[in-house]
Structure 1
């Protein structure tokens, strides 16, 4: 009898585990088996007889997502301090193990596997290691490498130095030392984000004295306190087989699951510290010492929280804890609420003197009084909820229905802009955006958080003579508590409850939809409760709990929901109000403390000790630069090209050209696909390029946001929100700038409105879309306009700090193509500048200025609406970007696709009938040279950036290049301790306009870059850049990318401690690609091909498949071209790497031998790198933009 998982059946067969040979099965105890109707799969919970480890084995049929096989293993890893030991260990176990002794098996798997997911994550109380693959042999390889990694790692001192921290001489001055390390750099970036710091402060304030009260990721000020003995000891204590929680999902061989798990659990983990050290492969320098002495400069009193963090290193002689995996007890409930105040580093301009505390504080006070500075106070009210227990007998037990009920309450309070608590916070105008997000259940104890960011004392009525900190804190806290009390007393509107209940049901039924493998979603969702003793299989069920919740709501919605609010929030004294105040001097103080600490440690070292430390760093660098031996590399199992599927995945698509009567025609793309679960996705896309004046491009994102949040002619914003929630799974609108193959100076600019609904509610969804497009009040509601602008500013500023590489690439994109410039105007720094200026006008104390701004906004919004309606009335859209027009798309099951198509085309018909017959107010339609237009070259149009009065657009860059000027070098200054370093240029020339007439892609779109460049860029990213920028340079991430349409080649780094060194690494990329140990190595190309194909074959949800198909259609990419490009990838060779090397040289062929460069970085780093001088002025060749102050020459 086969031990493969069965295909889906109408009635469940017996679980396959019953067919496992008894000799193997006897090594486990079957604790529970249950058929999960929610997932049409058998789930079996087993316990390993010899160790007590638990295993969940889910036998998922291929048709139900089981073809994407998932494995995960979790360990409870509660830290006792903020050294980041759990986080550093998560990185380190993947740096070589007993059976796979190469330096980084993880990187080798990325380079050579068909994995669809490969990662590891550290939570505050656990560490998880999940993998996924469609290929069963590849999946077995991944599982074996990961099990060896977690149980048998080579945790050498070299590993701690590389992944954690080390002292090393500065590149600029070898007599000075600095701190380095991958996790150290990563956490420097995390601790540069005000949002991250505030979120951590909230969690730590709720659980002082417990593991949640320290930084599990690692505080950069504490990371250097981690000793090698504690590092190894943490693994010994926490990575025991008895504490392991293992998970399988898929249609792979169940007996093989049990065999490999039994093998590794029986072997156990490495307990001997000497065995770890001896596994390093390279001896340590003579006289090397454990760097425990660095604890002497630990900042007393805690630099950020105001509380000292006790550091208590574990003794190497500690007895291994053999207790159950359930870790520390839940926090004892408080008897009274608490408050806490912390600081975070606020923005400081390049010209500020960070050393002059008094001047900085005065500047901060002046900015605060004027309300001009983007930095503001954060105030969040936080609750710790009962841990829920493991069964009805526990005092704090929370039933599954009540857990869903709490999710419903959270959504009712904060889930939409019109929810009462969210609305009260926003309408108060005290801050710029809501913080907290309501209920979070990823830890042992749930938390509930709500508050505001961007709060200034003046906004809460506090004057100079008042205690401004107290006023800010009290105002937000009172608003939250009063709103909760009033809402509990009044109850929620019935239609609001029905809307959010419908949304909740959508969420649980679509769990795992999208880019995340379904099995992975189930594993991650269950692991947090599993390590504390809850039944993992119960965590994967929802039908009974959902039915019970609906029954309780239908019986007594007010009593039930208000009762939950009363019990878990209003009567819950385990509450803390966390106040994060901006400080313009904190960043400088922390940097000074770090420098002084390092200097103090170094000064206390003997010359011999300093020499040993320098030699250790140099030896590590040599070790990192030395390739693995062939024998070590051969230990990591890889597939061969023969194992790769030859056929491309083609999404079936029906193209229909439908008449809209006298109004024109509609192009419909209908995708009838399996696996939709009775949900239909529909959208309309309206081309605005031929109509929209360049100066209005900056308004498009705001138009899209207001379209779905301001209501309609017959429903206000609250009523419309309830209507959307009750009838659909959501409605959204967005603006996009898409490329046109063969033309970097042309773009397709479109507005897309769409949503999802159950098949029988698609008519309701279409009616809502029509109602919004035709009658949404947009900017007519000035209160909603102001709040939307405030939130958009806050969101864009946060993204600058958390994803600086994206903003840097946006700056470069504006230089390389017209679509890139449009995208930059709509989502980059120009958009932030525009929104800030609009916010200032809307909130001006001069009533006339505010009224004029609101009137202008409404005029522009109506003009854009008119252009959208006119697009619906034009001829149908065509593939390849050559023509403007309207496009309708549908993704649904075969039984619903036709009806959904009719419904969405009816929307376009209604829009077309309302299209303005003549000129549009303020549109500039009478002046074609002033519009963005598809088919209009940017050289014949007004650049959107020029229309905003900004330099740096595509046309300007082209003119500069033609004049022989050098590439652009831009530095964007933000409050951060790390950098994001990007470089880009055009490497592949476009084949020209029109359809290809020869070659393997004949008849398809004229794409600039060959498909094989995808293999070569993967090879470069996971080879040279991984080794030089990440491993040796200590950046948290780095990579290279090729734009197939536009032909650009780009480099990026993430949370990078360097700028100049990283740019030098980029400069050597083409040489590496041509080298025998790099891109010209046939084996390396083979591995990169396997990895690239794995990326192409990642499973996608039906909606994602429909989006992919639509994108191909818009670009003019044919099915034959998709297959031809896959064939090219499968045939990649060292010549492919050489071609990318040539393209890189072309992209970097500026007058200074480089491409265009943009870095997002901090003021102090820019000064140290010579980008700005001591006077705050830009160095020659650099343009410096202070993201929080404006542009500087």
Structure 2
């Protein structure tokens, strides 16, 4: 294409190859509207489009976040209530979402289908440029906040999706700490404010300020449009220009973000978070030391600090982490480097500490870094961290996010601040500069400049406070009661009418005419044939091998599956502990620091999981538990990879009590954080453990039962240390046995010999004694627990196993999942109930679970679950509507898999006994789903709900007020 030539209104400003991405990068400007556009052309069929806006907040009402939700609630061209949900239900998207950052809002979509991609782009452009928020104030009320009042005698409350989402988010101390770092470092900039919204301030947002924010920032002149993948670029440029941008004239938008002037001295910020009255305050404080690090447009320093943070804090050999752990300042140490703002930040965190350790914490951090600067960082440590980063950059595999979206986010880290969008994508020259650290004091100079000599830093203390949640709840209740008492009858009536009006909009049905405006593929656009995952079963040197001949770009992906039925029932939780300690303890040949460096220098990483379970296809209770070692390296490094795995599995020394205690403390701390953020999974897993052998096993090794187990180990470590060591030694010898092993290997056919030639190295360290297997008969009890925390929201789950009621799995249940989750539960639990999310699961094993996420309700949500059968009995859908649900379901099946994911999925099918015929049968049943199939599931769901197996995790007061629902209620944290 020609520089300075105009293509459909877009002037090409720059074009050049980006060799690191195997792409051509083009930068355009739309002459009439002022919109910027960045295009990455390559052969990736998973195309990405996004439109982003610079949206700096000027308060903590969460207007950027509420707007992100709200623009997707109907627009001029697509006036249905929620086009976003209609697209999830019925498009072939591989990604569909929106994200609010501290200074930008992004609206990305992805699809492999050309027609679908254009449809998604159309809906998103209309949503952001012509939303219905001006027409319907109820949209802000629903997604942001509103006063809820049914009648004059009812209690006045706040309700809203973002309001409840942020109540949940800021209940987690880990989340609260990360959100407060920027506030502590940038008090005079937009980063001081909570762009997601602080529940204390969200109710200050008015409809006028809400639409004013959109009017100011959501103009093409303030937009950043991105296109990625194998596409007809001119066709898309023409579409964007003709249908949208041509109607806008360029304006000046004042969205520029000013830098925070550097501090003359360190700042200190103390923040409190609530804990339950029964929890102890000891060892629950977070201490963090935070530094402003240069500018987002300094790509070399950004890359260097990513590596430096890993080197200092993320590996067993990390010197700063080691110093902090040895100083016994807390039970978990970690750090992070955040380059998603104009001024990136580097943070060092000690968790499960106490406020009186503040000065010692700062001293250890600064003294350790001063020593590293003075004496130099070990070169093998530098080499290992650079290598692992380079492996990640070259591998370019991003589980969960399309590759093109990751590049988009990286581009925004410079583009948003008026620098070239390619700045962080072209990493070769920056990496070469960083590699000079192998022969110079490159990293030491960075630490001196940005840590030791940097006064632009803060100490952030996040500490627990008993009774804080209750105090805040009481203050809110008093505030609302006082406000209600101050209102005249007519003002009260206005709130009642607004509540009613919102409810009417929420319960109204979109007209068939409006629904028909949402573009939809036909069933003919679907691939009727299920993808065949390559798998060749082989026997090599007495070991079963599953080879997946796929082009991997010279990388070998290796999975070792050890059967764990050799472990007696009472020892099972130790499998999870074993997975956590491997690679973090000394071996007979290396200490754990040396081992960590060797792994990072020679491989792309080695990971361990002791709790993988694979349910037998068609069975409710038969499952195959595995201890899995997942490893990757360049093909020519397979001998070294094999040696390292052999060394770790065969000669780890388990008797270092001090080190074991450190690992157990850290693991327990991270489990707690996960339970806060993923409460819906905790509750769902717990419910399934009441009626499913597999789920009970999962619970013992990876759920609340395991958390209680590791808590006991930590609290009684000194008394149990010898027992822990003996158990780890015994189960490692039982599990790591050649007779237990099956191997999955994903690499090109022509490179297979590099694997088979080194298999003897891999198995040389394994025991080969005859093995004895156990059959587990785990005790199942319907406990119906209420799990109390200091959270301000609930996670509510209910379910049963329908196979135990005589029903069989059918692929149409996946269409039922789409309908139940994105229609019934979305409307009842999210839209009307105000929860942030709701989910339905129908598994091959027969497990059926309904759950909610950051839910202000409890009994009301359980009632919604119980009424699902009534909805199904009266379910009706015309051909178009049903086609939409089918397409949305197939899109989940057709998510693009990386070579590694293809290999691992094929392994899973093999272990579970799922044939290609089974996969095709499920796909056929999905595509051929009829309305009668959905209606026919009503009795199955009804009988499952009648078993009344439920669990809720959430607010202590809420659970106590509903104690009659539960068999028992208990606190889950000490």
Same fold (TM over 0.5): yes
Q: Are the aligned partners of 2:786 and 2:966 in contact in 1 as well (CA < 8 Å)?
A: no
TM-aligned CA distance change 1:911 to 1:1008, over 3 Å: farther
Q: Are the aligned partners of 1:92 and 1:160 in contact in 2 as well (CA < 8 Å)?
A: yes
Does 1:28 find its partner at 2:6?
no
Match for residue 220 of structure 2 among 241, 244, 253: 241
2:158 aligns with 179
Does 1:633 find its partner at 2:615?
no
1:574 aligns with 456
Q: Could you say what secondary structure the match of 2:560 adopts? A: strand
Does 1:671 find its partner at 2:569?
no
TM-aligned CA distance change 1:27 to 1:380, over 3 Å: same
1:252 shift after superposition:
1.7
Q: Are the aligned partners of 1:805 and 1:982 in contact in 2 as well (CA < 8 Å)?
A: yes
Match for residue 341 of structure 1 among 270, 273, 289: 270
1:404 aligns with 303
2:138 aligns with 158
Does 1:606 find its partner at 2:488?
yes
Match for residue 252 of structure 2 among 319, 322, 331: 322
Deviations 1:988-1020 (A, max 9, x none): 4599xxxxxxxxxxxxxxx95111111111111
1:839 aligns with 714
1:491 shift after superposition:
1.4
Deviations 1:909-968 (A, max 9, x none): x244x34579xxxxxx6xxxxx7x3xx351xxxx3xxxxxxxxxxx333xxxxxxxxx54
What stretches of structure 2 of length at least 5 have no aligned partner?
A: none
TM-aligned CA distance change 1:265 to 1:1087, over 3 Å: closer
Q: Are the aligned partners of 1:126 and 1:528 in contact in 2 as well (CA < 8 Å)?
A: no
Matches within 5 A, 1:289-438: 322-323=252-253, 327-349=256-278, 367=280, 376-389=284-297, 398=298, 400-435=299-334, 437-438=335-336
TM-aligned CA distance change 1:762 to 1:729, over 3 Å: same
Deviations 1:1042-1093 (A, max 9, x none): 011x11211010000111111111111122122244xx54433211100111
Whole-angstrom distance in 2 between the partners of 1:1139 and 1:489 = 73
Q: Are the aligned partners of 2:643 and 2:761 in contact in 1 as well (CA < 8 Å)?
A: no
Whole-angstrom distance in 2 between the partners of 1:840 and 1:403 = 40
Deviations 1:1125-1172 (A, max 9, x none): 21221111112212332321221232xxxx31010011111133x22x
1:394 aligns with none
Whole-angstrom distance in 2 between the partners of 1:252 and 1:206 = 43
Whole-angstrom distance in 2 between the partners of 1:53 and 1:1091 = 32
2:38 aligns with 56
Does 1:1161 find its partner at 2:940?
no
Q: Are the aligned partners of 2:325 and 2:333 in contact in 1 as well (CA < 8 Å)?
A: yes
1:673 shift after superposition:
0.7
1:267 shift after superposition:
5.2
Whole-angstrom distance in 2 between the partners of 1:239 and 1:347 = 42
Whole-angstrom distance in 2 between the partners of 1:196 and 1:917 = 49
Match for residue 195 of structure 2 among 201, 207, 216: 216
1:224 shift after superposition:
0.4
- TM-score when normalising by structure 2: 0.97
Match for residue 342 of structure 2 among 444, 459, 462: 444
Q: Could you say what secondary structure the match of 2:32 adopts? A: coil
Q: Are the aligned partners of 1:981 and 1:1054 in contact in 2 as well (CA < 8 Å)?
A: yes
Does 1:750 find its partner at 2:626?
yes
1:1118 aligns with 915
- TM-score when normalising by structure 1: 0.79
What stretches of structure 1 of length at least 5 have no aligned partner?
A: 1-14, 271-319, 350-363, 390-397, 457-468, 660-664, 843-849, 875-884, 919-924, 926-930, 944-954, 958-966, 992-1006, 1172-1178
2:704 aligns with 829
Deviations 1:1007-1038 (A, max 9, x none): 95111111111111111111111111111000
Does 1:106 find its partner at 2:35?
no
TM-aligned CA distance change 1:544 to 1:894, over 3 Å: farther
Does 1:521 find its partner at 2:406?
yes
1:1095 aligns with 892
Whole-angstrom distance in 1 between the partners of 2:397 and 2:411 = 13
Q: Are the aligned partners of 2:8 and 2:237 in contact in 1 as well (CA < 8 Å)?
A: no
1:498 aligns with 383
Matches within 5 A, 1:187-266: 187-266=166-245
Whole-angstrom distance in 2 between the partners of 1:633 and 1:692 = 56
1:1185 aligns with 970
Deviations 1:862-919 (A, max 9, x none): 110121134x2x3xxxxxxxxxx321010112332332244346423x244x34579x
1:997 aligns with none
Does 1:1048 find its partner at 2:847?
yes
TM-aligned CA distance change 1:862 to 1:1008, over 3 Å: farther
1:863 aligns with 730
2:789 aligns with 974
Structure 1 vs Structure 2 CA RMSD: 2.1
Q: Are the aligned partners of 2:313 and 2:333 in contact in 1 as well (CA < 8 Å)?
A: no
Whole-angstrom distance in 1 between the partners of 2:109 and 2:446 = 38
More divergent stretch after superposition (1120-1129 vs 665-674): 1120-1129
Q: Are the aligned partners of 2:617 and 2:914 in contact in 1 as well (CA < 8 Å)?
A: no
Q: How many residues align?
A: 971
1:269 shift after superposition:
7.1
Whole-angstrom distance in 2 between the partners of 1:813 and 1:725 = 38
1:483 aligns with 368
Give the structure with higher Rg (CA). 1
1:539 shift after superposition:
2.6
Matches within 5 A, 1:60-139: 60-61=42-43, 66-139=44-117
Whole-angstrom distance in 1 between the partners of 2:618 and 2:31 = 64
More divergent stretch after superposition (1102-1111 vs 1066-1075): 1066-1075
Whole-angstrom distance in 1 between the partners of 2:480 and 2:769 = 69
1:1022 aligns with 822
Whole-angstrom distance in 2 between the partners of 1:811 and 1:387 = 46
Does 1:45 find its partner at 2:27?
yes
TM-aligned CA distance change 1:826 to 1:224, over 3 Å: same
Whole-angstrom distance in 2 between the partners of 1:713 and 1:1057 = 54
Q: Could you say what secondary structure the match of 1:749 adopts? A: strand
Whole-angstrom distance in 2 between the partners of 1:514 and 1:1103 = 10
Does 1:983 find its partner at 2:802?
no
TM-aligned CA distance change 1:81 to 1:264, over 3 Å: farther
Matches within 5 A, 1:638-1037: 638-659=520-541, 665-674=542-551, 676-689=552-565, 691-735=566-610, 736-778=612-654, 780-842=655-717, 850=718, 852-870=719-737, 872=738, 874=739, 885-904=740-759, 906-908=761-763, 910-912=764-766, 914-916=767-769, 933=774, 936=775, 938=777, 943=778, 955-957=779-781, 968-988=783-803, 1008-1037=808-837
Match for residue 588 of structure 1 among 466, 470, 481: 470
Whole-angstrom distance in 1 between the partners of 2:201 and 2:378 = 49
Q: Are the aligned partners of 1:429 and 1:787 in contact in 2 as well (CA < 8 Å)?
A: no
Whole-angstrom distance in 1 between the partners of 2:776 and 2:386 = 49
Q: Are the aligned partners of 1:889 and 1:901 in contact in 2 as well (CA < 8 Å)?
A: no
Whole-angstrom distance in 1 between the partners of 2:153 and 2:953 = 26
TM-aligned CA distance change 1:1134 to 1:604, over 3 Å: same
Match for residue 437 of structure 2 among 547, 553, 558: 553
